Amino acid sequence: MTPQQAESIADDLSREYFERALRVSPGGVHSPVRAFKGVGGTPVFFRSAQGATMTSVDGRDYIDFCQSFGPLMLGHRDPDVMEAVEDMISTAWSFGACEPYSLELAEWITSRLPWVEMLRFVSSGTEAVMSALRVARAATERNRILKFEGCYHGHSDSLLVKAGSGLAGVSASSSGGVSSQVAGETLVAPLDDEEAVRKVFAEYGSEIAAVILEPLPANYGLLIQRREFIDETVKLARAHGSLVIFDEVISGFRVAPGGMAEVLGIRPDLVTYGKVIGGGFPVACYGGRRDLMELVAPDGPVYQAGTLSANPVGMRAGLATLQKIERVNAYTQLDERTAGFCDGLNSEMQKRGLPFQVTRAASIFWLHERTKDTIRRIEQIPERHATDFAHVFHRALAGGVYLAPSGYEVSFMSLAHTGALLDRAREVILDAMEESGMRTT
C-alpha cells in the first residue's frame, strides 16, 4: 500500500488535525514514531481510550496493541488505578516539596527487588539512563560507556550513537547535534557476539565506566538474547571493574515482578525502570547499590534534579498499578493470554503460507518477516520487513486494529485484551496479510 492509498484510510478529522499539527510541531508530533513515517500515510488522532481499545477523533474504535508503548499492563483507564488518580487529583497535583506518595512507591519497589537498595524518581526513561550513567562515571572515575547496536536507551547525547568503522567499539553519532567528542566516549558492540565484546574490553577495558544493556532488547524489534551472551558480557564487565547497568524501562515489571534481572538471576549494579511503574503517567527511576546511589545529590557530588520528579499523581497511579498486578497474578494471566494469541497467529500464518511470524517474550510480541533462525541482531532483520509490515499495518488499521506504526516497534498485551477482542484481532491481522497478497516463496 502506497502512502497515497494509506491516506484514503485516515479519518477526515485526523487529516485536518495533522495538517494543523504540522504548522506548530516538527513533523506534527511530539515523538517521532507517532508521525507514521515508518508506514506512510496520515496518523490517526485519538480522543479517548478504555481497556483494550482507543477511539479516534472521528468516533472509530481500534483494538490497541500499542498500549502507550508498554506501560498499560492493565489496559487504558483501569478502574482501580483511575480511583487512585482521581483521589490524588482532588487532593493535590504537585508539591515541589516532600510528600508521602513517592515514599510509598519507593518502599514498595525496594522491598521487593534486593538489587534496588535505593532509587531516585525522574520523569522519563531518558532521564533515568542519563542519570545512571553519570553515577557510573563518578563511581569509577572513568569516561567511556559500552552499549550495544540495536539497544535504545533514550535520546541523551552520549547514547545517540551507532557502530562506526570496523574497529572494535568505534562509534559515530546517529543524530544531528551530537558532537564527535561526545559520541566517541560511547563504545558500540554488536549483540549476540561474545568475541566482539571481548575485543572491546581488551582494547578499552580500563576506560569503561559501565556496560549498559537492554537484557531484553525491544526497541528495534524483539531481539531475544542468548543467556550465554548476557552472562559473558556481565562477567567481562566485572572482571574489568566496569559497572553493569540494566536498562529495564520496557522489561521492568512487564516480563516478571523483577524484570529480566529476576528472570536471569543477575544482580545489576544500577538499573533503570519506567513505563509500568507510572501506570501510564510520566514516571521513571534509576536505582541500585546503596553506595552508588549515595553519590547522588544532596548526599554526594553527582547532581540531578527535577521540578516534577515524583509527581504525586504518577506515584499514586504507579503504586495502584503494581499492587493490582501483584494482587491478581497478572504475569501468569498475561503470559497465557499472549502465548495463546501468538501461537494461534503463528499456526495460522504457517498454514496459509503467509511470510510472517510472531516472536514473543512474556506479554511482549513482535510481528515480523519469517526467518529460519531467531533474530538476535538488527542486521538479521529481513531487508523487506519494513515495507511489507507497512502493507499489513494499514490493512489492519482499516480493520480496526492499531499496531505500533513501525515494523521495528513491538506490541504489548494487557489484561483488558479479552478472548473475544483477541479472536477478532487475530482474524483482522490474518486478513490484512491475505489482502496484501504476500505468500511464502
Residue 62 among the catalytic residues:
no
Name the residue type at position 197.
V
Residues forming a β-bridge with 273: 248, 285
Catalytic residue among 247, 269, 324, 408: 247
Distances (CA, A) of 232 to 95, 163, 193, 245: 45, 20, 10, 14
Residue 192 among the catalytic residues:
no
Distances (CA, A) of 87 to 76, 83, 267, 313, 324: 18, 6, 36, 9, 17
CB atoms within 10 A of CB 293: 22
Catalytic residue among 269, 275, 286, 324: 275
Give the residue from 123, 152, 148, 120 showing the smallest Cα distance to 134. Answer: 120
DSSP state of 158: G
Determine the Cα–Cα distance for residues 205 and 84; give it in Å rounded to an integer: 48
Give the residue from 148, 228, 244 showing the smallest Cα distance to 196. Answer: 148
Residue 247 among the catalytic residues:
yes
Determine the Cα–Cα distance for residues 57 and 318; give it in Å rounded to an integer: 28
Cβ pair 191, 376 in contact under 8 A: yes
Catalytic residue among 101, 152, 286, 331: 152
So which residues are the catalytic ones? 152, 247, 275
